[in-house]
Amino acid sequence: MIRATEQPQAAVQGTVRAEGNPVIQHVYTADPSAVVYDGRVYLFTGRDEAEADQQTYIMREWLCFSSPDMRTWQPHGSPLRAQDFAWAQGDAFGSQVITRHGKFYWYTAVTHATIAGKAIGVAVADVPWSPFRDARGTALITNDMVAAPPGSMNNLDPAVIVDDRGQAYIFWGNGQAYYARLKENMIELDGPIRKLDLPGFQEGSRLYKRRGWYYLSYGSGMPEKIVYVRSRDLDGPWEYCGILNEIAGNCQTNSGFILDYQGRSYFIYHNGALAGGGSHHRSVCIDHIYFNADDTIRRVVMTSEGVYGAPEP
């Protein structure tokens, strides 16, 4: 057993299985996203590497895990590091992987080496577990493109989705939400960057579509709870729908990703529940998520049993 004063091990061999939440317990993980490929779920996370007494974000790489059942997870190491972007100074912050045209695109937030502030990069690979490479050689979005003060954190937490017409969009932001269209090649903007005024927007944009609705969730307040809006069109207008997931109580931030897999829907998020955890030592968890008859989302309750809890009929 890991005592509350101990840190998780840096790595394990073979599969890992946690009887509940957090689902990954040998390393601190955060900012999850996921895709389904060849019958398996591929979970992508950031890695919190701060020492036990450090209260700051130390994040150098992203991790990949896969599962056939949302319970047993196979670690695939680190397919991407901040240093893999030659133009970046560091910081492997919030990210998302999406698959399109037979490839996997990883949108990331890092610190730019020469343009003060955070920037968004995009990497590409043929399979989700293999090393990703910088798809552009330059940042996709930089601080000067959003007219933010030098050194700001505006370009955090990219979220990407393709609408029913085949148009790709990217949403992101910190303090201010932004969005833009992407070209068919997924590595260039297709038009201007637009501001999006969302109630209480802090950071952590995430996108999901279901039954003709697009759902945009994000962290609100500090400490953060997750709220969401919905729309029939990614260009809006957006309808505010309220709280999706409450304040964790053991972590200042949260980031929630919705995934459909084998006929059920799951809410993948992070908190500070792992032994020795907290705001800078986070852990990814998974719970069931349910929808109301009017296609609004029922509030997700964080549980210790996670996907081991009996799902509702």
- The angle formed by the CA atoms of residues 228, 231 and 235, to the nearest 5 degrees, is 110
Give the model confidence (pLDDT) of 90-127 as tens digits: 999 999 999 999 999 999 999 999 999 999 999 999 99
- Do 250 and 285 form a contact (C-beta atoms < 8 A)? no
Cα separation, 133 vs 29, whole angstroms: 22
Residues 123-169: tens digit of each pLDDT: 999 999 999 999 999 999 999 999 888 888 999 999 999 999 999 99
What are the phi and psi torsion angles at 94 (to 5°)?
-50, 145
Hey, which residues does 239 pair with through a beta bridge? 230
Long-range contact set of residues 198-202: C-beta below 8 Å, sequence gap at least 24 = 198/229, 198/238, 198/240, 199/227, 199/229, 199/240, 200/227, 201/173, 201/175, 201/176, 201/177, 202/174, 202/175
What are the tens digits of pLDDT across the range 253-301?
999 999 999 999 999 999 999 999 999 999 999 999 999 999 999 999 9
Angle (nearest 5°) at CA 101 between 95 and 105? 15
Residue type at 244? Answer: L
Q: What is the pLDDT at residue 1?
A: 25
- The correct CATH number of 37-308 out of 2.115.10.20, 3.50.50.60, 3.40.605.10, 2.40.50.140 is 2.115.10.20
Residues 6+ apart with CB under 8 A from 151: 116, 117, 143
Would you state the pLDDT for residue 310? 74
pTM of the model: 0.94
Catalytic residue among 48, 157, 203, 224: 203
Average pLDDT, the chain: 94
User: Is the pLDDT score of 5 beyond 60?
Assistant: no
Confidence grade of residue 312 (pLDDT, cut at 50, 70, 90):
confident
Q: So what's the pLDDT on residue 311?
A: 80
Beta-carbon count within 10 A of 75 CB: 19
pLDDT in tens, 195-219: 999 999 999 999 999 999 999 999 9
Q: Does residue 69 carry a catalytic annotation?
A: no
C-alpha 57/C-alpha 285 separation (Å) is 19
- Cα separation of 173 and 129, whole Å? 27
Catalytic residue list contains 84: no
Looking at residue 150, its pLDDT comes to 81
15-20 mean pLDDT: 91
Q: Which long-range contacts (CB under 8 A, 24 or more apart) does 123-126 make?
A: 123/80, 123/84, 123/85, 124/187, 125/79, 126/102
